[in-house]
Every structure is written in structure tokens, then in C-alpha cells.
Structure 1
Amino acid sequence: MQLSLPFTTLLAGVLLALNVNAVPVAQQPRMVTLPLKRMEVRSDEHPRILLQQQINRASKRLALMTGREAPTEAMMTEALRKRVLEVEGPEGLERRRVGLFGATKDKRFNRTGVPKNGKRSPKKGKNAGNAGNAGATGNTGATGNGGAAAGSSAIGGPDSATGVEVANTPTTGNSLGLNIEGPDVGYLATIQMGTPPQNYLILMDSGSADLWVASEACQSTAGGDCGNHQTLGSTSSSSFVASNTPFQVTYGTGAVQGAIIQDDITVAGLTLKAHTFGVTTSETPDFADDSVPFDGLMGLAQSTLSEQQTPTPVESLASAGLISDAITSYKISRAADNLNDGEITFGALDTTKFDQSTLTTVPNVNTQGFWEAALDAITVDGQDTGLQGRTAILDTGTTLIVAPVDDATAVHQLITGSQADGQGGFTVPCDFNQSVALTVGGTVFAIEPQDIALQPPNQDGSCTSGISGGSFGTSNTEWLVGDVFLKNAYYSTDVGKNTVSLAKLV
């Protein structure tokens, strides 16, 4: 898979949260659940600048997913330059000149849009994060089922340095914590790797198919090591088996390269012995920087996309009989709700999370290995936009809904008070209360108005729309449907049946 995107122009589809303090509970041996946790992004950026970063990232991600020519770095830098000029004028451009055009990256244009003013704990050593059956004990000091992370408030409160909000104790057995990047952007879980097992915070991405963490020898392309992240190698793990087989993956928010290895991994108490995956020897700052709180990434698309040419963990868990089927299911929480109730389940669907009468299962229409469903209709307050033959790539690693410009315009023409900004984005009234809905498999899935009218407000009192337009040619019909929609449905994928399921949340 090729999901590349340039340096300064992206808002991370993937940041991560730090620590998990839920304990695995052996309740359902053929399925395991990891709760999703939320991390608040701390940024002093104007909402429209953040919007442009997200549009740039999602536009390139979708173009590369669908085999079209992606926007160039120059095109995206120019779009960001125009947005800064619009919002902050020439003074803003001058202040950011080096970060936009020079070799030195302005800290306000890092991969997440988050100023690098937070302090993290000292770099984790060999024994940091040892995880036994009693609970997570590592990355940031979580100490078991009731323990909060060092430097954080009680469950539900943000970490003072990272903005991480800790998820509630899972409601389903065999559960650990999975974090959500704010504002409702990316999701991660703590799993264990190596012998003795140590905790690793891993981004869960339904739009890729490779698992990796940093090696003990990892170097940043910007110089130095790969930051304040847990590493894996023969020094820290006695079960680590190296190889000389290289791999390289390019994402929408950076790139990594390294070597294929084998080591034990444990997902919510289920252990895969000598699992094959990757350790990175080189990472771009999008992954290596200290401001990035995750240790690696787990791709949850089909392994036909894998650059490592290896099965995904969920596929391996199913092959080993540890879960019933190679199914991954998502209940994504919304930051504004402050419920911290997001969970990811491997092996089945958690029927306590959705209205079973609304469960809709449709074929995956993507032949490459992404998860893509046919859209029956796109409506606003029940009025059909007239857009036919569209499909939706369902991607947990994308914040917005990004559609062809003409499609996005058709949707906003039915939204009272909406305005196009001339760069692919739209604004809507902050008191927006119309029902935008996607119909899949005959079932209408409405999007909460708060997920369309993104906070905080712009200076003119409007709110940025969660639906944006991207230029991908003249005949494209694919939409990239990210968290703006996925927060509003239970979402599940099945490798064996090659299907996508959606249901209404309860």
C-alpha cells in the first residue's frame, strides 16, 4: 500500500495516547476486545489551517488508495500557504516562512498541528512497560485495573502533558485499552511484545496492513534516534529472531523502513508465538519525533495490502484458532461526549454496542484489500443529493469525509447557510442541525450534526464542515469516509467473508 503525504501539510491521522490500565478478563475465548481511548490534541492553530492539513492528507491518501495521481507536495504546500494567508495575512506567512518552505520545520507545522511544548517522561528503558496478567505496568506508569497514568487525572481526565484521556474499563471480556486521537482522529491500543512481555502503544489503522514497532537501532531521518518510544530487539527480548528481509511503508503521515522479524505478541491476553512483523531502522519525524506518543502501527486492512507480505495479527489469531474469525469491529467514541467508551473487538461483533435489528452486511467492493462499501444514497434531511454509483472507503485513520469536489458541493447545496472556501473546504452554521446521512445496504446511517459542524468556531462565527472536497480527476466515484461518519455507527470487517458491516449504536 502507498499512503504517502508530505511533511508539513498533514494533520496526523494518527497520534496516540499513552497507557492502558484495563486488565484482560478471560470471558469470551473466541473474541477479544480492546477499549478505545481518547487523546485531546492541544493546538493553537486556527481551525481552517487544521482543516487544510486534514484535506491535504486525506486527499493524497484517497488518491493513492484509488490509484490516481496524488497531489504533489508543492500543490499541498501552496494550498496551506493560501490558507495561512487567508487566516493570518502576510505576517503569518513570514512567521512560518522557514517551516513552510525551508529545511527547518516550524514546530507549529509538525505532523499533528500540536505545539511541541509538552514534556514527556524519560525515554523508556529495557524493563519499562513489563506487562503481566495483573495489568499494564509500563509506558506511563499505569499500575493495573484501577491505576491512572503518572501525570494524568483519574479515568476520563486528560493527561497534563499529553492530553490523553483514559478509556473506561471495558464492558467485554479479554479487554485492554485503545486510545482515540483527538479531535476524533486516530485510535490505538496497548499490546505486548517480546520476552519478557513489554507494553507497546500501537495505532490501529483500517487503511493499511502492516504491523511494526521501532527497533533498538532505529534512527530518525531528521537525525538522532527514534524518540521517546518503546523499542524491540534482541537486547530487550530473548524471543526476538532477526532476519535480513527488508520492508518499507509510506503512509499519509510519513514513512518507515526496516526488517522483518519474528517475536511473540499478545493481544488482550491472546499470544501469538513467533509472529512475523517488522521493526523499523529508519523513521521520518512523523513517527520518530518525541511529540508522537505511539510506539508503532497495526494495519487492519486485508493482508493483500501488506508491504511486509505477512498476515495481519487478526488473520493470524483466527488461523491459530484463538478467535473465531478474522473479524475486526470498532465502537469509536466521540471526544465531545466525554464517555471514553470506544472499543475494538477481534473475532466477532460485540452485540452490546449496537441495535442488532439494524445490522447491515455488504460485500467489500475493493479488490486491493481496503474496506469499501457501495453507497445507496447520500441525503440531507431525507432529500437525495442525486449522487449515484458512489462507494465509501471506510478508514479509521482519516478524520474527515472527503469526496470529489462536485459531490461535496452537491451535499452542501442542501445545507442551509453553508459556504465554500474555494480550497475544497466548506463552512456551516455552528448551530447546524440538519441530518446528513449515508445509506448502506438499504439502511440509513445519520451523522450527528456536531460531527458536521466542527468546533471550535471560526473567527466569523461559522464552523468548519466535516465534509470536504478533494480533486482526484473527473470520473472518480469513491469517497474516503473517516471518523466524521464512523463515530456514528458500529463498524466491522470480516476478512474470511470479505464483507463490511455497519449497525446503529445504542
Structure 2
Amino acid sequence: MQLALSFSALLASVLFVLSATDSGVQAAPAKRARTVTLPLTRLHQNRGDVHPQVLLQQHINRSQRRIARMRGVAPPSKRELEQNLAKRLYIPAGGRPGKVQKRFNRVGTKGSVSLVEEDDDAKFEPFAKAAGRKGKGKGKAGTAGANSNAGGNSGAAASASGLTPANAPTANNSLGLAIEAQDVGYIATIQMGTPPRDFNILMDSGSADLWVGAENCQSESGGDCGNHTFLGPQSSSTFTDTNKQFQVTYGTGNVQGDIIQDNIVVAGLALNAHTFGVATAESVDFSSDSVPFDGLMGLAQSTLSEQGVLTPVEALAQAGLIGDAITSYKISRLADNKNDGEITFGGLDPTKFDASTLVTFDNVATDGFWEGAMDGVTVDGQDTGLQGRSAILDTGTTLIVAPPADATAVHQLIDGAQDDGQGGFTIPCNTNASVALSFGGQEFAIDTRDLVFAQADATGTNCVSGISSGQIVDDVTWLVGDVFLKNAYYSTDVTKNQISLAKLV
């Protein structure tokens, strides 16, 4: 094998590893409890000097730890994950990185180690592509251009580091989901305090705590918590501190602070004296000026809540403001230039999906996340023989991670696919392969732009597949992230403990 990474890419990757190693997070056995948190998104800037093979290993490592935490088993050790990453630094001759399009994932199983951090702009600015950024604070809207198969984004989309505003929602009790950067995250605006003020909130289907920065918020890197909107007694006359504390640790960041009560308005629905958190301390992952949101709303089941309170959607249902604790997501793809992302509370928006394709199935998870039976997998209509599988549907995961034998079975049916021997696969960048997953008797095809994760080399011929293999607890459980979920209308129902999927229109 030949070391084919550029010097700056290699140095940046090593520095990222050292940063993760120095974080002091221990790879202790996980407890299967309410501490599982899977943030939908976290801000990451584009780093043109990080090779896509290294990027792929980051996602594989994170997925492995995420699955271990979900299943309540000891995750791979930090040393094991670092060794996996080190192997990725050695790539075939000719694999020198070119100008590639990448989509960075926000991650964060509670307490996990995210190897090769991409968050600390100040530390790694020499290796960043400054031209791919559009200022600080809440950012400027990006512009989508012509579609590209490699990476699923256009060049214009790839340069968007701010927010692309959503169109007005088409259903009651709904909020538009602004697109952050290259489909990195989805952010809505809610109101908090008295008088009510707007807060940009990242909508997270996999955690269960609502928090925003406190007026006295301090960054762990020193100084205040950046160019954000904060909540506290100076700005809200209805703010009440309960004198209780909370802490949430994500894979690439953490917050801690006070549990408080104040008025909030979500999609026009008012919750007075709602209990949630204000962060008095944030890691740079949240406090940086480049982060375009003020807080995070977790919308999994409240059994995951570190604050021990109802999620907003559960509180809305309890108050009778919505019929059921349902949260529905239409996640946009920036390259489509539709900007029709939307989150709906209490029901589904029938204008976003084909009603004849709607299927509903039981949530089989017991710890508050969402998992259902997956009937089968096909490639170009050919059955892979993978029946009796279970899929954890997680908007906080970028890739689809399948057990090794299953991932191999899928790629054997994709012309030109190759196993890299380390959990990843390459596929032709111009592939027309149609991979589809089935739930509730309904088949959902994955857009080829999502299947093609990023260019694997400078030739533009080989690309990294959006489906990888991971050491999952058993041989039948998949972790299904946004590579799939951007291709379906996704709805979760806490009241009935069910999941719904439908084809988009």
C-alpha cells in the first residue's frame, strides 16, 4: 500500500485524531438507559484537505459506537477506532484527493468518542477551504445549482455553509425546516420567553431534551457563547429557575446548565411554563459563531431525556393542543432546489407524500429511539435475500450501516462495486443502481445521488458508497440514516409507539 494522502490532509487528520484522544472521554461499557442521545445534526465545515476515505471511516466509527450505545453493550475501544482510522490513511496509488464534495454528519451517542473531529475551526483553519464559507453567526442562505451524482450536491450547494430558508409550511401545526449547508442539518424557528422572541432550533429526532443558551452562557474554549440568541431573567419576565441542573454529552459536543420553566410557542401552539434547559456552559461545537442555531429540540421519546421531562410534542399532546404526540419530517435535499422541508406536530402533512404508499409499523425499540421490521432489500429489483431484518431509523446518522454479510450482499449486485476491506465500499460515480428497502410491504428506493457519498479519488470514476458495513450487535440489525430518510416521509408516534413511512411527492 502506498501513502497517497497530501501532507496537509495527513497532518490535519492526525491532528484531528489527537484532538479526539485528548478529549478525555473514556470508552467505558455503556448502560442501556435514558442516556442515549443521537443528535440529528452538528455543524461541520467543509474541509477539502480531508480525504473522503478518512471521512468515510469517521462515519463508520461513529456508527459503530452509536449502535453499541443503542444496544447497551461496550462500544469499540478508542484504540480500536483509531487503528481503523490509521488504516484508512494508507490508500492505493493514485488515490490522491481531488476537489470532492462532502457531507458531514452531526453525531452524538451520549458519551461517544468521535474520532477525527472537524469542529474546531480556529485550530484547523489552515486546512479548511475558506472559500466554502459564508460568514458567521446564523449564516446566509446558500444557493442550489445543477445536480451532481458525486456527493449528491451541486458545487453551489457544496459551498453553502449558512442556512437555506425553507418555504412556508403547507400544513397546520408545522414549521419550515431551513437547510444548513449541504443537507447537514434542519433548523426551525420557535418562540420563547415573555415577550416572545425567535430562536433558531435544530430539530433532532433522536434525542429528548430541549435547550437554548443561557444569558450567562460561557464557552468551554473561553469567552461567551457566540453570536446567538439567549434566554434568561433579563430577557423574559416569565423565566423561572428550578434550581436543578442537567448535562447532555454528544459525540462532538456537550452542554450543561439549569432546568428552567418559561413560555414557548411551537408552530403557533403555546406551552406556558414549559420545563426545559438553558445551557450555562457549551463546548465550541455549539458556542461557535459559525453555528447557525441557538439550541436543540429533541423529539424522541422522553425516556431518553436527561432533564427527566416531557418533550415539547409530548407536552403539546398532554395539553390537548394536538391529538397525538406525532412528529413528522419531510427532509429536503439542497440539490433539488425545492426548500420544502417541514416538521409537523400532531399529524402528517398529506401534501408531502403519496397516501397510497403510507405504511405504519410498530416501534420495537424499548429505550425511546425508533426501530422497525425491515422486510427486504433489492438492487435493481433483484432480491438480495435479506429478509427478517430490523432497522433503526435515525436522522442523526448519515450513512446506512449494515452487518458485514448484508452490506456485501447488496454491493455484489451493484456493477463495479468493490469492498475496501475496512467496512467501506466503492461504487462507480456514474452508477444507476437502484437500491430499495422495504417496510410494511412497501418498497422505498434510494436516490442515486444519496447512494453516492463522495468521490473516492481524483479521477471522478470511483465513489464511496453511502452503504457501509459495521460491527452491529447481531446479524440482522441495520442502522438506517439520511442516505435513506431523505427519500421518504418519516413520522413517529409516541402515543401509539409506531413509525410511518411514505413515498414523497
- Same fold per TM (> 0.5)? yes
Give the whole-Å Cα distance in 2 for the aligned partners of 1:88 and 1:116.
29
Is residue 303 of structure 2 the alignment partner of residue 307 of structure 1? no
In the TM superposition, 1:20-35 aligns within 5 A as: none
Mapped contact 1:6–1:252 kept (Cα < 8 A): no
Give the whole-Å Cα distance in 1 for the aligned partners of 2:313 and 2:431.
39
Which ranges in structure 1 are unaligned for 5 or more consecutive residues?
Answer: 17-39, 93-98, 123-138, 141-150
Is residue 95 of structure 2 the alignment partner of residue 68 of structure 1? no
**CA 1:305/1:101 → structure 2, altered by over 3 Å: closer, same or farther?**
closer
Give the whole-Å Cα distance in 2 for the aligned partners of 1:48 and 1:269.
44
In the TM superposition, 1:222-233 aligns within 5 A as: 222-233=221-232
Aligned position for 1:50:
55
**CA 1:333/1:117 → structure 2, altered by over 3 Å: closer, same or farther?**
closer
Question: What code does the residue aligned with 1:339 have?
Answer: K
In the TM superposition, 1:373-412 aligns within 5 A as: 373-412=372-411
Mapped contact 2:39–2:206 kept (Cα < 8 A): no
Aligned position for 1:462:
462
Q: Deviations over 1:167-197 (max 9, x none)?
A: 2222234544322344334322111111121
Mapped contact 2:136–2:289 kept (Cα < 8 A): no
Aligned position for 1:493:
492
Give the whole-Å Cα distance in 1 for the aligned partners of 2:323 and 2:232.
31
Is residue 182 of structure 2 the alignment partner of residue 183 of structure 1? yes
Question: What code does the residue aligned with 2:467 have?
Answer: I
In the TM superposition, 1:147-162 aligns within 5 A as: 152=141, 162=161
In the TM superposition, 1:338-349 aligns within 5 A as: 338-349=337-348
* TM-score normalised by the chain length of structure 1: 0.79
Give the whole-Å Cα distance in 2 for the aligned partners of 1:304 and 1:100.
28
**CA 1:76/1:343 → structure 2, altered by over 3 Å: closer, same or farther?**
same
Is residue 297 of structure 2 the alignment partner of residue 298 of structure 1? yes
Give the whole-Å Cα distance in 2 for the aligned partners of 1:307 and 1:13.
17
Mapped contact 1:155–1:168 kept (Cα < 8 A): no
Give the whole-Å Cα distance in 1 for the aligned partners of 2:415 and 2:207.
37
Task: Please give the secondary structure, in 1, of the residue aligned with 2:343.
Answer: strand
Which ranges in structure 2 are unaligned for 5 or more consecutive residues?
Answer: 1-16, 24-37, 98-113, 146-155
Deviation at 1:153, TM superposition (A): 7.2
Mapped contact 1:152–1:160 kept (Cα < 8 A): no
Give the whole-Å Cα distance in 1 for the aligned partners of 2:381 and 2:488.
18
Give the whole-Å Cα distance in 2 for the aligned partners of 1:116 and 1:292.
17
Deviation at 1:292, TM superposition (A): 2.0
Aligned position for 1:36:
none
Is residue 13 of structure 2 the alignment partner of residue 14 of structure 1? no
Mapped contact 1:100–1:106 kept (Cα < 8 A): no
Deviation at 1:74, TM superposition (A): 3.2
Give the whole-Å Cα distance in 1 for the aligned partners of 2:184 and 2:116.
27
**CA 1:172/1:154 → structure 2, altered by over 3 Å: closer, same or farther?**
farther
Give the whole-Å Cα distance in 2 for the aligned partners of 1:385 and 1:265.
48
**CA 1:158/1:458 → structure 2, altered by over 3 Å: closer, same or farther?**
closer
**CA 1:203/1:293 → structure 2, altered by over 3 Å: closer, same or farther?**
same
Mapped contact 1:70–1:472 kept (Cα < 8 A): no
Q: Deviations over 1:364-412 (max 9, x none)?
A: 0111111111111122122222333321111112111112223222211
Deviation at 1:88, TM superposition (A): 10
Give the whole-Å Cα distance in 1 for the aligned partners of 2:202 and 2:18.
20
Task: Please give the secondary structure, in 2, of the residue aligned with 1:79.
Answer: helix
**CA 1:225/1:172 → structure 2, altered by over 3 Å: closer, same or farther?**
same
Task: Please give the secondary structure, in 1, of the residue aligned with 2:240.
Answer: coil
Deviation at 1:456, TM superposition (A): 4.5
Structure 1 stretches of at least 4 aligned residues deviating more than 4 Å after TM superposition: 5-13, 99-102, 104-110, 113-122, 151-161
Mapped contact 1:193–1:266 kept (Cα < 8 A): yes
C-alpha RMSD over aligned residues = 3.4
Give the whole-Å Cα distance in 1 for the aligned partners of 2:416 and 2:265.
50
Task: Please give the secondary structure, in 2, of the residue aligned with 1:281.
Answer: strand
Aligned position for 2:328:
329
Q: Deviations over 1:133-182 (max 9, x none)?
A: xxxxxx67xxxxxxxxxx55789997988332222222234544322344
Question: What code does the residue aligned with 2:187 have?
Answer: L
Query: Percentage identity across aligned positions?
Result: 61
**CA 1:161/1:198 → structure 2, altered by over 3 Å: closer, same or farther?**
farther
Is residue 427 of structure 2 the alignment partner of residue 428 of structure 1? yes
**CA 1:250/1:486 → structure 2, altered by over 3 Å: closer, same or farther?**
same
Aligned position for 1:272:
271
Mapped contact 1:379–1:438 kept (Cα < 8 A): yes
Deviates more, 1:190-199 or 1:279-288: 279-288
Is residue 443 of structure 2 the alignment partner of residue 444 of structure 1? yes
**CA 1:155/1:455 → structure 2, altered by over 3 Å: closer, same or farther?**
closer
**CA 1:8/1:341 → structure 2, altered by over 3 Å: closer, same or farther?**
farther
Mapped contact 2:299–2:311 kept (Cα < 8 A): yes
Give the whole-Å Cα distance in 1 for the aligned partners of 2:356 and 2:144.
33
Aligned position for 2:283:
284
Task: Please give the secondary structure, in 2, of the residue aligned with 1:274.
Answer: strand
**CA 1:13/1:205 → structure 2, altered by over 3 Å: closer, same or farther?**
closer
Aligned position for 1:32:
none
Give the whole-Å Cα distance in 1 for the aligned partners of 2:293 and 2:92.
31
Aligned position for 1:417:
416
Mapped contact 1:159–1:165 kept (Cα < 8 A): no
Deviation at 1:284, TM superposition (A): 2.2
Deviation at 1:56, TM superposition (A): 2.3
Mapped contact 1:458–1:464 kept (Cα < 8 A): no
